[in-house]
Chains A and B, each alone.
Chain A
Amino acid sequence: MTTTVTERVERLERQWAERPGVLGWLTTTDHKRIGLLYFWTTLVFFGAGGVEALVMRTQLVQPNNDIVGPEVFDQLFTVHGMTMIFWFIIPMTTGAFGNYLVPLMVGARDMAFPRLNALSFWIFVASGIFLYVGLFSGFGPDAGWFNYVPLSTRHFDPSRNIEMYTLGLAFNSIASSLTAANLIVTILKLRAPGMSFNRLPLFCFAFLAASFGLIFALPSLSVDLLYLYLDRNLGFHFFDVAHGGSTFLWQHLFWFFGHPEVYILIVPAFGIATEIIPAFTRRKMLAFPLVAIAELLVVFIGFGVWAHHMFATGLPTVTLVFFAGATAMVVIPSTIQVFAWSMSILTGRPRFRTPLLFIIGFIVMFVAGGLTGIMFLAIPFDQQVTDTYFVVAHFHYIIFGAAVFPIFGGMYYWFPKVTGKLYFERPGQISFWIIFVGTNLLFFPMHIVGLLGMPRRVYTYPGDMGWTSYNLIESIGGYVTALGIVVLFANLVVSYFRGPPSGPDPWHGPTLEWSVPSPPPEYNFAVIPVVSSAYANWDHDDRERDGHRLTAGVGVLERGHEQHVSSVVDGWTSEIIDMPHSSPWPILLAASLSVMFTLLIVQKFVYASIFAVLIGLTLLGWHGKEPQES
């Protein structure tokens, strides 16, 4: 008696079922659940960062305003910057989109290291708690997101504010590194059979690039944070010029991390664009290999341009010229991508649904932000506008326009996949237009006030500088943007409850995630798909053959939590492994790690050592149960 398809699927469902209820979510190792946890958590931080921005815009709405004082304003802009970069965009792209979608796109059943993935999430939660406990207890970081010394040394910032910066970011960077390592190994090793490197979706190339960026850039930040902690708390002299230290050391290390970071923020957004464009223009991406290389190259060049953040610090001119030249190279891969996106849209048959609108808005904003970016290459110009609102305008066009717009577009695009419901199209398009108009009202006048000399980070300004009306427009733009975002999320929430069912593939999407039901089952793929192009879901004969293989029981991998491992280059299966699932150890390890570090900060060494022992026990437990060998 042969096994039927229903029996196979039922067996997979039994084997991959997670614990029900809250406990299931706390111990989950399913990449989709972790992706959703990341999604909800980062949305909370996005809300917090947005409220901080609105308070700042309200403070700046008119001259000599006194809604918040300078101390609070310092904390607001510092925490706003940190939140949006480290607690919203990076975890939203790598944590939420990457976790949820990368395994589905490469045809895997989970991430390469499922428990590490859970650990990454819980450490991320702890890092956010550190930051916001600091803010709400009046000890929010207050020296700007790049936290220059000597301002942030014990001498000028004597309270605990900067410790919250150090601790929060250190935990955050551990979490990001774990996710990045996981994404790299997943993309390199868990690809569906036949998915050779040239058949990898561009989305995955982008996440590969961002993950490599994180792996090599974050240590620089960690070292910097370590030095700062030692200087502030144990009297070391890394940044103390009087004792042979150097304040430049902080800046070099910070920007050696900080500039790749900028590309780490936007490259995943490029990846989202390269998914949405083919789906809504009914054509494959133009210049596929060039775009793939450009995505990797942007991050690679990003490691050689850090000193362009330091043009006004008095570095030797020859250094400045070198870095200006290196920065100019970034134009090449960026332009390749801009042309590839826009020409793919122009030569395709575009359907202007909400996701594509967001991508078009993104291209417009990215080009605008890129053009002001090129202006900074002129060193004297940069020295004039450094620390003015012109810079604020530039990087908000890039970060809001080029990173957040595709995130919003991606939320609409994959909403049917994640929830199984369609969103409402008309309110979606309205939300796009409100956000597009709002952000331009918000950020464009910043160019002008910047050129008029308004410095960034000031908590108020006199009325006779000619900045008043621009600031009013910016604040109005801020409220309009907030309104648009509210419409966007209201649409998604209402659609979740009232939306019509979407079916597995409402857009005729190009990649494998659209070949499975919506929402995807725990095991993702009932049969491991065999792939013969980068647009695997458009190869209907392949997908049909997958159906036959399911009936025949070939490549179903139904003996436990099984996952195929592929070779790096040509993507053929080389091994079947047994994956771990639902483990309590990641959350326990993250909890004991964070408690231990908190105790170290308040210098309770005896209690801290108790938790060190707990960490050891947790690790033993983690490795106690060995995988089944087949």
Chain B
Amino acid sequence: MTDIVVDRRARERFPLGLWGMAMLIATESALFAMMIGSYFYLRFKNAHWPPPGIPEPKLLIPLILLGVLLTTSFPMFMAARSATPKLWLLLALILQSGYFAMEVHEYAGNLAHFTPQDHAYGSIYYTLLGADHGHVAIGLLLNAWILWKLLFGMTAYRRKALRAIAFYWHAVNVLTLVVTLTVLSPAFA
């Protein structure tokens, strides 16, 4: 007990890079919690939500898109573990890019109906969704970056990066689930 025996082959199950990512996810989750809190705060301050003149959010397409995004957790999970992560990554990247393109299209389409400058409803709607899409966009860049790195072979460092990015994607997927259900919530009632 009085001395350390250093086993140089020992590898931490949860390396420092993942701890760093966990810290990022913790603080980003708090950020989204605050935004979702503001959404409901503003909602309960208003008698009509959405206010008259603004259509209720449509359910079908956003829910399908959400489903597509959530399935990408599986290829990301496999990519972090498998010996051939590139194919899994590519599959995830295609699905995620499709999701992102469709969401940007939806976002622009909504702007034709109502804008963030009309009412606080629009302000929080577009800010919340915009923040979420921003996180997806950063995830796409991370994925593209690690895929490019992996073209030059796998190292222990890249494996850690891959695991951290997969961790990020799982968190973004959960955040997107909560954010999407929040902005769709007026249509459920």
Contacts and interface: CB of A to CB of B under 8 A. Distances in A.
Interface of A: 112-113, 116, 177, 180-181, 184-185, 188-189, 193-194, 215-220, 222-223, 226-227, 230-231, 234-238, 240, 243-246, 248-249, 252-253, 256, 528, 530, 545, 549, 554-555, 557, 564-565, 572-577, 620, 623, 626-627, 629-630
A537 to B, nearest CB: 17
Contacts of B57: none
Nearest to B141: A616
B67 interface: no
B6 A564 contact: yes
B42 to A, nearest CB: 6
Contacts of B2: 530, 545
A235 B81 CA distance: 47
A244 B156 contact: no
A253 B26 contact: no
Contact of B4 (A181, A217, A240, A555): A555
B136 to A, nearest CB: 17
B111 interface: no
A244 B119 contact: yes
A180 B27 CA distance: 10
A177 B118 contact: no
Q: B26, B28, B31, B123 — which one has the most chain A CB atoms within 10 A of its CB?
A: B123
Given A216-B30, A244-B42, A237 B117 contact: yes
Interface residues of B, number: 45
B54 to A, nearest CB: 10
B46 A244 contact: yes
A576 B124 CA distance: 47
B120 A237 contact: yes
Interface in B1-27: 1-4, 6, 8, 10-12, 15-16, 19-20, 23-24, 26-27
B80 to A, nearest CB: 18
Contacts of A184: 23
Given A220-B34, A554-B4, A620-B145, 17 more contacts: A177-B27, A181-B23, A185-B23, A215-B23, A215-B30, A218-B27, A219-B28, A220-B30, A222-B31, A237-B119, A245-B120, A528-B4, A545-B2, A555-B3, A576-B6, A623-B161, A626-B157
A238 B123 contact: yes
Contacts of A623: 145, 161
A243 B121 CA distance: 9
A564 B161 CA distance: 20
A194 B3 CA distance: 9
A576 B15 CA distance: 11
Nearest to B157: A626
Given A216-B26, A223-B35, A234-B117, A573 B4 contact: yes
Contacts of A245: 42, 120, 123
Contact of A244 (B3, B34, B120): B120
A252 B84 CA distance: 49
25 contacts: A113-B16, A181-B23, A185-B20, A188-B19, A220-B30, A227-B123, A235-B116, A236-B120, A236-B123, A237-B116, A237-B122, A237-B123, A238-B42, A243-B119, A244-B45, A244-B119, A245-B123, A248-B41, A253-B38, A554-B3, A564-B4, A565-B15, A574-B12, A575-B15, A626-B157
Contact of A189 (B8, B16, B31): B16
Contacts of B145: 620, 623
A136 to B, nearest CB: 32
B127 interface: yes
B12 A565 contact: yes
Given A245-B120, A575-B10, A575-B12, A236 B45 contact: no
Given A113-B20, A181-B24, A236 B46 contact: no
Given A215-B23, A230-B123, A238-B124, A573 B6 contact: yes
Contacts of B51: 244
B12 A234 contact: no
A222 B30 CA distance: 10
B157 A627 contact: yes
A227 B1 CA distance: 55
